[in-house]
C-alpha cells in the first residue's frame, strides 16, 4: 500500500514537472532595446551630480573621481549616429489583461542608498513582492514615498546597514525621495504580474514567460512619458524595440 502511494506520488510529481516544462516552452520572451531620438547635435543635457554629492563628505569620498551624469536621463550615444542614443531606466510592462497572476517572487528586490544615490534609480516588482530599502552609507538618509494608491511611508535610516522591508498591494509607478539630499530620487513600479522590466545600461530589456497572443506593452520614462504599443507574442523569442522622442525632435 505504502509503495503504491509512493509510486503514485512519484508519477504525479513527474507529470507536474513535464507539464511545467511544456508550459515554459509554450511561452514567449520579449526582448528589445530602448532608444532616445533627438535633433542631431542636441543630446539631452547632463547634470553634474557631483556638485551636489560633494556637499556630503561621507558620500563624496566613496567616488574615485567626480561623477557627471543625470539620474533622470541616462542615455549613451550610439557609434556613428548623431541623432539617437540608447536609454536606460525606462520601464517596460504588459498593460493588457494577462489573466491570473502567478505568486509573487519569494526573493526581495533591493533599493540601496549608496554614495548619496538610490541604486537602482528605477526598480520594478510584483504586488506583494518585498522591496528591501537599505542604507549602505554611514550617514542619515530618509526614504519618503507619497504614492496615490498605496499607503505613504517615510523611513529615516540614520545608520549604515539599516533595512526596511516594504510590500505594495496596488499596481502603481511612483517616486521616492530623500529629504536630506534633494538630488536623491528613485522610481518604484509595482505591477499585478511578473511581466515588467527596466532597460539596462545598454538600453536592453527582457520579459520572460509571456502567454502567446496579443498584448499591449507600455513604455514609461520619467521624463519622456508613456507610450503604448500592441504586440503579438508567439512561443519562443520575440523582438520589440522602442524609441522615445525628445520634445522638439522631428
Would you tell me which residues interact with Cu ion (CB under 5 A)?
A: 141, 178, 180-181, 184
Q: How far apart are CB 143 and Cu ion at their closest, in Å? A: 8
The residue (of 90 and 116) whose beta carbon lies closer to Cu ion is: 116
The residue (of 53 and 217) whose beta carbon lies closer to Cu ion is: 53
Q: How far apart are CB 158 and Cu ion at their closest, in Å? A: 11
Q: In what order do the strands lie in the sheet with 225-233?
A: 196-198, 91-94, 213-221, 225-233
Give the sign of the dihedral formed by CA 82, CA 87, CA 93, CA 96.
negative
Q: How far apart are CB 147 and Cu ion at their closest, in Å? A: 19
The residue (of 62 and 200) whose beta carbon lies closer to Cu ion is: 62
Phi and psi at residue 25, in whole multiples of 5°?
-70, -30
Picking from 86, 73, 91, the residue whose alpha carbon sits closest to that of residue 34 is 86
Q: How far apart are CB 30 and Cu ion at their closest, in Å? A: 35
The residue (of 131 and 184) whose beta carbon lies closer to Cu ion is: 184
The residue (of 82 and 179) whose beta carbon lies closer to Cu ion is: 179
Q: How far apart are CA 21 and CA 34, in angstroms?
A: 31
Contact between residue 136 and residue 160 where contact means Cβ atoms under 8 Å apart: yes
Say whether the peptide bond before residue 171 is cis (omega within 30 degrees of 0): no
Q: How far apart are CA 96 and CA 212, in angstroms?
A: 13
Q: How far apart are CB 182 and Cu ion at their closest, in Å? A: 9
Amino acid at each position: 500500500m505504502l509503495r503504491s502511494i509512493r509510486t503514485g506520488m512519484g508519477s504525479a510529481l513527474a507529470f507536474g514537472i513535464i507539464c511545467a516544462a511544456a508550459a515554459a516552452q509554450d511561452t514567449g520572451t520579449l526582448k528589445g532595446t530602448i532608444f532616445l531620438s533627438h535633433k542631431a547635435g542636441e543630446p539631452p543635457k547632463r547634470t553634474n551630480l557631483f556638485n551636489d554629492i560633494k556637499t556630503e563628505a561621507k558620500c563624496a569620498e566613496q567616488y574615485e573621481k567626480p561623477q557627471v551624469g543625470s539620474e533622470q536621463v541616462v542615455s549613451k550615444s550610439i557609434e556613428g549616429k548623431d541623432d539617437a542614443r540608447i536609454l536606460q531606466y525606462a520601464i517596460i510592462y504588459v498593460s493588457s489583461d494577462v489573466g491570473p497572476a502567478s505568486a509573487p517572487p519569494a526573493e526581495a528586490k533591493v533599493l540601496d542608498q549608496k554614495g548619496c544615490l538610490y541604486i537602482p534609480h528605477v526598480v520594478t516588482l510584483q504586488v506583494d513582492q518585498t522591496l528591501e530599502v537599505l542604507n549602505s552609507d554611514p550617514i542619515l538618509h530618509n526614504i519618503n514615498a507619497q504614492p496615490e494608491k498605496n499607503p505613504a511611508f517615510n523611513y529615516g535610516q540614520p545608520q549604515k546597514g539599516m533595512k526596511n522591508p516594504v510590500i505594495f498591494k496596488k499596481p502603481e509607478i511612483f517616486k521616492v525621495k530623500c529629504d536630506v539630499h534633494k538630488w536623491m530620487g528613485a522610481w518604484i513600479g509595482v505591477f499585478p504580474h511578473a511581466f515588467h522590466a527596466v532597460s539596462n545600461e545598454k538600453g536592453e530589456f527582457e520579459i520572460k514567460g509571456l502567454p502567446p497572443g496579443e498584448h499591449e506593452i507600455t513604455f514609461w520614462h520619467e521624463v519622456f512619458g508613456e507610450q503604448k504599443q500592441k504586440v503579438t507574442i508567439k512561443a519562443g523569442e520575440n523582438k520589440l524595440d522602442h524609441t522615445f522622442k525628445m520634445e522638439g525632435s522631428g
